[in-house]
Chains A and B, each alone.
Chain A
């Protein structure tokens, strides 16, 4: 009887029932986790067949996630999305952390990129890693990463998000240092891990702040509390900025950007999956997810926008002169992530996530393409030793050209739609400086990407005589082709008509609270008005960048380029040296920090340990001295007693009288 009443009460209390995810939803997490565990356990014995289980697991995950992401993006799950409580993870007094998964349009956007690029990268790796002795280990790690990343975007509790945040960091560490017998990958892995730790400290402190204020880390509860005005003023700014610290680390924004270029030491599929399309987006996702918190603090928003747009132009300026093909793409990733943060900072939430999606596809494509190029020229990564590859590897060339046009922001490919929306909203919300810098970066992006294409594919061949370039196997070219399709079409599909497309309808409700707090209203989009002019401006700048890039690098223009670099010598040297940020870090943290640490070590050894050991030594030497009077002869002790008594008696007589 009591059970029935309890059930009735539970049913009536839930009020407006949020949609419940289907029962198979946890499989999204269990499939990659199972793939990881199975491959880790028996993968070594499977040899060249080790990819079958992980690949099938990810393809199944992709199918499942599409069945959730598509309705979520189309708004079929309702504005609040759907969730499913799995179990209570930690119950400690009043503090409870539950493990639940939640899918709304924002999660759907992430799922779309993560599982699609993830599945294609798995397929690509079958070809790319086929000669590697650590074949099974690679797939085990990839599945572990997929599990962690999906947990990150699905979790409905910030503590689970934090755990997943660390798990993707671990997977990233393992995969960057995949070739652990070589020195550089090991160092790069450590650098990535340690740099991320710096940001994660901030993230953890921010979470503690949220627990202190709200007593829970359940995302909907926290966001509802923020929206109700329970967290304002300095407290909101501090907590928002602390959480942003985590995002800065994971998404490699200035000044924690140094790890991402070095992370290119890992295998190329890893660069494409983790360090371009998925993990580095986690920071953008986090800020977007916590949008009301940031909206509650104008100062925090300003910091986000400033750091984002600064990273965008800073990284773009470095990408101009790098010669390693993957490094150029890495700096390009930094720059594009900076774009997304700038968008978040000005309150252009939807364009930021839109750019996250399009960037995930075309940057994944570009990285996989660069892997195909490296594969073709026998492991060479330096662009000055390439050239003229267009005819030798036509599929790679064609797909990479699509990716390049997409990232350059030329219509009608994907990058144009999202980038234009970011710039347009930045301008309309009154952040003219963000718009202006963003416009310059858009031109710069087009330029350095066509420089990459020129050095790699056009002009005369500078490849070593004994290397014969060859097109990659189908397992590698098929993912390129499959990624080229969204790189062309996803912008139109999601973003057209502008300000009224699927992406806007899907994501707008998510950011409704934040927009209301900021007082942002969306004016109707006008082709023959301000929006048309802004669009024309961004297309013009992108075209100029493209034109200069193509003109300079179409054929062998070595003398002309050398003349230009000679004229801009200081800028060239600074850009080439990545504005000496690694050297600055070396100076501050390794040399000066090392000195301080050495002094602290000396202080600890001499003063702190010295005090403790000194007390010990004093006691033991005192004891050794006092031992001399313990003769062990009863008479001596008795004499002592007698003398003592006599002394006391005399003292009594003298003082007492």
Chain B
């Protein structure tokens, strides 16, 4: 297995930055589509971290990629189901804004 040059830290910093952007987006945006995209960003941030660990930590060699594949698959499934739910709600409520989805609230 070929080793990549450089250090682990820059990858983790990039991963952390992306995760923070995703979290911020998820918490700050009111549009359901945007929130779903933020979730995708967070998942991919994690993916970078996992792959980076797989490349730099000898003990995890090879396993990181397998785990990343799993996460990509889960992300795809999540996006599919999530989008389907959002579209269904949108058809009912005529709005993509999540703070107006408050029927269950008394």
Contacts and interface: CB of A to CB of B under 8 A. Distances in A.
Contacts of A632: 101-102, 104-105
A568 interface: no
B98 A633 contact: yes
Contacts of B5: none
Nearest to A646: B23
Interface stretch (A404-412, A434-442, A535-543, A634-642): A634-642
Given A634-B35, A635-B98, A642 B27 contact: yes
A634 B105 contact: no
B47 to A, nearest CB: 18
Nearest to B102: A632
Contacts of A639: 27
A627 interface: yes
Residue with the highest number of chain B CB atoms closer than 10 Å, among A627, A634, A639 = A634
Interface in B26-43: 26-28, 30, 35
Contact of A631 (B26, B30, B105): B105
A246 B96 CA distance: 81
A630 interface: yes
A266 B23 CA distance: 91
B92 interface: no
Contacts of A634: 35, 98-99, 101
B27 A635 contact: yes
Interface in A52-72: none
Contacts of A631: 105
Nearest to A630: B105
Residue with the highest number of chain A CB atoms closer than 10 Å, among B27, B30, B102, B106 = B27
B99 A635 contact: yes
Contact of A638 (B27, B102, B104, B106): B27
A73 to B, nearest CB: 85
Nearest to A632: B105
Contacts of B28: 635
Contacts, number: 25
B45 to A, nearest CB: 14
Contacts of A630: 105
Contacts of B105: 630-632
B106 A627 contact: yes
B100 to A, nearest CB: 10
Contacts of B99: 633-635
Nearest to B26: A638
A625 to B, nearest CB: 14
Interface string A619-657: 000000001001111110011001000000000000000
B102 to A, nearest CB: 4
Interface string A437-473: 0000000000000000000000000000000000000
Contact of A635 (B30, B102, B104): B30
Contacts of B102: 632-633
Contacts of B104: 632
A496 to B, nearest CB: 95
Contacts of B101: 632, 634
A633 B104 CA distance: 11
Interface in B53-106: 98-99, 101-102, 104-106
Nearest to B106: A627
A88 B102 CA distance: 68
A630 B104 CA distance: 10
Given A627-B106, A630-B105, A635-B30, A642 B23 contact: yes
Interface in A538-575: none
Nearest to A639: B27
Contacts of B30: 635
A630 B101 CA distance: 13
Nearest to A634: B98
Contacts of B26: 635, 638
Contacts of B35: 634
A646 to B, nearest CB: 10
Nearest to B104: A632
A638 B99 CA distance: 12
A627 B102 CA distance: 14
Nearest to A633: B99
Residue with the highest number of chain B CB atoms closer than 10 Å, among A627, A630, A635, A642 = A635
A454 to B, nearest CB: 88
A428 to B, nearest CB: 90
A632 B99 CA distance: 7
Contacts of A633: 98-99, 102
Contacts of B27: 635, 638-639, 642
B72 to A, nearest CB: 22
A627 B30 CA distance: 22
Contacts of B106: 627
B42 to A, nearest CB: 10
Interface of B: 23, 26-28, 30, 35, 98-99, 101-102, 104-106
Interface of A: 627, 630-635, 638-639, 642
Given A631-B105, A634-B99, A635-B28, 15 more contacts: A630-B105, A632-B101, A632-B104, A633-B99, A633-B102, A634-B35, A634-B98, A635-B26, A635-B27, A635-B30, A635-B98, A638-B27, A639-B27, A642-B23, A642-B27
25 contacts: A627-B106, A630-B105, A631-B105, A632-B101, A632-B102, A632-B104, A632-B105, A633-B98, A633-B99, A633-B102, A634-B35, A634-B98, A634-B99, A634-B101, A635-B26, A635-B27, A635-B28, A635-B30, A635-B98, A635-B99, A638-B26, A638-B27, A639-B27, A642-B23, A642-B27
Q: 6 tightest A-B contacts by CB?
A: A632-B105, A632-B102, A634-B98, A633-B99, A638-B27, A638-B26
